[in-house]
Chain A
């Protein structure tokens, strides 16, 4: 038994495949969706989305997302969704340094402050998701 998962962002259809389980970053913690879940519409937090498909796991970094569980499929709408294997670690680390520099400068406008915080959060998330791939690689199950 599998479920159809779609991940859409304003810029593209990021993922579409039959999967066994998807674990999403809910606002109150991780939320696992298995086939035959009740219809649900919920807000997602900034975090890591894990797809379990056969013996392999796939990771996405999700920002600004919503989850819709329908009888026929599960749809994740997100402002950005980056697959772990496609994250540019160098760039994420650069973004992190930039955001940290912006936050530690002498005077920051409140609006810039919020932007820099959000940028830092995104960069840290990308780094975390990308590093998971580097250290662990795809996990294999018995």
Chain B
């Protein structure tokens, strides 16, 4: 049996851990709030850009525009978003498992594939799986900005227009609620305008300098917006997952402290009893 002093030392250690996990829980909660606010603030722009794309699609659908066309050959690109740091519960593990399943299924169908990763965890996992990572982006931090994703968006758009890829998908963890975060795959390119964001009916816009020129300018921003939204969702998921993980850790620490306190008391009681017996038998022997 551990000595009284050992147990007391362990209780102290667990109490320190509890303090840290509690602090991390509160930090995560406030960062989650900020991430959610950022996601909401980004919505007007992304709704707007969806609407404009829908307007353009109506005008351009007659023409065979490379953005809406699905090229027969070429590789598939997956943009894979994870977090830079760990301690976020099962978030990254789930996302990595989801991505790997998608990749395996795809290669069984005989397709070639490239990867671009955002976040260190995803890159490390893909390297371990010996998958080629074309490019990597990290250091978006707690507050990703639109400027962070523009380089990535440009890379994706340019390579798609050059015909390197025939399809681009993005995998990230969607923030469903504080308790539920789900790995999700969305199609980035070729574009498929949403049914529910049709432009204003019967409204003929004048396009300056022309529909395809506008689209050319708009496309990198549209892609950047989609990626930015995914990054924001992922950040919100990261913090809520971290918050839950830290809450669980704090509760486990409390349980552990209770258990340790119980055994501490038992040991203490046993020691007292032993001393009493020693004193009593000493007195009897006299």
- On A, residues with C-beta under 8 Å from B are 6, 8-13, 26-27, 38-43, 64, 66, 68, 70-71, 75, 77, 79
B48-92, CB under 8 A of A: which get 1 and which 0? 110010011000000000000000000000000000000000000
Q: Are A40 and B203 in contact (CB under 8 A)?
A: no
- CA distance in complex: A68, B204 (Å): 12
B-chain residues with CB within 8 Å of residue A43 when the two chains form the complex: 208-209, 213-214, 217-218
A-chain residues with CB within 8 Å of residue B26 when the two chains form the complex: none
What are the 3 closest A-B residue pairs judged by CB atoms, nearest first?
A: A42-B208, A10-B146, A8-B45
Is B160 interfacial (CB-CB < 8 Å)?
no
- CA distance in complex: A40, B44 (Å): 19
Other A-B contacts than A12-B41, A26-B208, 17 sampled, CB-CB below 8 A, are A8-B45, A8-B48, A9-B146, A11-B45, A39-B205, A40-B207, A41-B207, A41-B214, A43-B209, A43-B213, A66-B218, A68-B48, A68-B205, A71-B200, A77-B45, A77-B48, A79-B146
Is B224 interfacial (CB-CB < 8 Å)?
yes
Q: Which range holds the interface residue count of chain B?
A: 20 to 34
Is B162 interfacial (CB-CB < 8 Å)?
no
A-chain residues with CB within 8 Å of residue B213 when the two chains form the complex: 43
Q: Are B204 and A39 in contact (CB under 8 A)?
A: yes
Question: From B40, which residue of chain A is reached at the shortest CB distance?
Answer: A12
**Interface secondary structure of A, over-half rule:** strand
- CA distance in complex: A67, B44 (Å): 15
Known: A66-B214, A68-B52, A79-B146. A41 touches B206 (CB 8 A): yes
B-chain residues with CB within 8 Å of residue A75 when the two chains form the complex: 48
B144-186, CB under 8 A of A: which get 1 and which 0? 0111001000000000000000000000000000000000000
Residue from B45, B56, B200 within 8 A of A10 (CB atoms): B45
- On B, residues with C-beta under 8 Å from A are 38, 41-42, 44-46, 48-49, 52, 55-56, 145-147, 150, 200, 203-209, 213-214, 217-218, 221, 224-225, 228
- CA distance in complex: A11, B229 (Å): 10
**Interface secondary structure of B, over-half rule:** helix
Known: A9-B146, A41-B214. A66 touches B52 (CB 8 A): yes
A-chain residues with CB within 8 Å of residue B209 when the two chains form the complex: 27, 42-43
- CA distance in complex: A6, B45 (Å): 10
Q: Are A41 and B221 in contact (CB under 8 A)?
A: no
Known: A41-B55, A66-B214, A70-B200. A9 touches B206 (CB 8 A): no
Residue from A10, A38, A40 within 8 A of B46 (CB atoms): A10
Known: A13-B44, A66-B217, A66-B218. A77 touches B49 (CB 8 A): yes
Q: Are A71 and B203 in contact (CB under 8 A)?
A: yes
- CA distance in complex: A10, B46 (Å): 7
Q: Are A41 and B224 in contact (CB under 8 A)?
A: no
Report 12 cross-chain contacts, Cβ distance below 8 Å, ordered by A residue: A9-B146, A26-B208, A27-B209, A40-B207, A40-B208, A41-B52, A41-B206, A42-B208, A43-B208, A68-B205, A79-B146, A79-B221
A-chain residues with CB within 8 Å of residue B56 when the two chains form the complex: 41
A-chain residues with CB within 8 Å of residue B38 when the two chains form the complex: 11
Q: Are B217 and A10 in contact (CB under 8 A)?
A: no
